[in-house]
Amino acid sequence: MKIFIVYAHPEPRSLNGSLRDRMVATLTAEGHEVIVSDLYAHGWKAALDGADFPAEAAGARLDVVAASHRAFAEGTQTADVAEEQRRLLWADAVILQFPLWWFSMPAILKGWVERVYAHGFAYGVGEHSDRRWGDRYGEGVFAGKRAMLVVTTGGWSEHYLERGINGPIDDLLFPIQHGILFYPGFSVLDPFVVYRASKMDAARFESVAGELDRRLAGLFVDAPIAYRQQNGGDYEIPSMRLKEGLEQAGQQGFRLHRS
């Protein structure tokens, strides 16, 4: 199978760098093809701006959605964006790897999403009517592909539980897993999260790496998160409101969108 790793950490000798190397070695040994986009090493341009649309008229007011659509449709995107899109289409599975910084992904990775997820490619596709509202949330260009997050964080695991001070890790990662991955069609696996990342010795690393190996072995067989499909009948259209009575006892917040 073909696996695309989007890696966002500035230090190759970091724990993230070691985990990335372990993933590449493990997946390659299992016969998979692996491509890595190392955003910091490649000097990825993080900011989405007018420079991303070189075919737009000089001095014209920038309408990002319209410009993005024209650039994608007419083949005038910058070369770096077009290459990342090719890699996404090539892959059977995508892994986003990053440290949790200020409760989200590093800015360089968010910028990768904003620039690569062009209108007409990852969003703004499909029929919009009184029975469908586009190909998204379980449908879209990445339907049939799998995705997983590999995340490190400095806090203890207890800090990210239901009553933990930082909030549940699933809630913190919901905008990424549901909004960035499930939205354009990926089947999203539970994240692999390493807590207390700064407290890592050789013995603990081998334990963590072994668990990561086990997760990678299930990349194409483990059940994905059971997010509700937008056009599967659970939501009113066009309000996109979950229909009454579908929630389980005590289910609220982001959990309403899991069946």
Helices (H), 142-245: 169-176, 202-217
Instruction: Give me the pLDDT at residue 247, please.
Output: 84
| Backbone torsions φ then ψ of 215, nearest 5 degrees | -65, -40
Q: What is the pLDDT of residue 131?
A: 86
Give per-residue burial for 173-208: e unless 16+ CB within 10 Å, then b. bbebbbebbbbbbbbbbbbbbbbebeeeeeeeeeeb
Between the alpha carbon of residue 218 and those of residues 22, 176, 192, 212, the distances in Å are 16, 21, 12, 10
Task: Give residue for tokens 């959605």.
Answer: 65
Which residues of the chain are modeled with pLDDT < 70? Answer: none
Pairing mode of beta strands 187-188, 146-152: parallel
Amino acid 50: pLDDT: 95
CA nearest neighbour of 230 among 113, 120, 105, 139? 139
Per-residue pLDDT reduced to its tens digit, 30-59? 999 999 999 999 999 999 999 999 999 988
Residue 88: the pLDDT is 98
Helix (H) or strand (E) holding 70: helix 64-74
Count CB-CB contacts under 10 A for residue 7: 24
- Tell me: the pLDDT tens digits for 103-138? 999 999 999 999 999 999 999 999 888 889 999 999
DSSP 247: S
∠32-187-224 over CA atoms, to 5°? 95
Would you list the DSSP string of 22-60? HHHHHHHHTT-EEEEEETTTTT-----SGGG-TTSPTT-
Rounded to the nearest 5°, which phi and psi values hold at 36?
Answer: -120, 130
Instruction: Assess contact for 157 and 116: CB atoms under 8 A.
Output: no
Residue 178 tokens read as 């549901």
pTM comes to 0.95
Would you state the pLDDT for residue 42?
96
Q: Of 157, 148, 67, give the one whose Cα is nearest residue 115.
A: 67
Beta bridge partners, 151, equal 98, 193
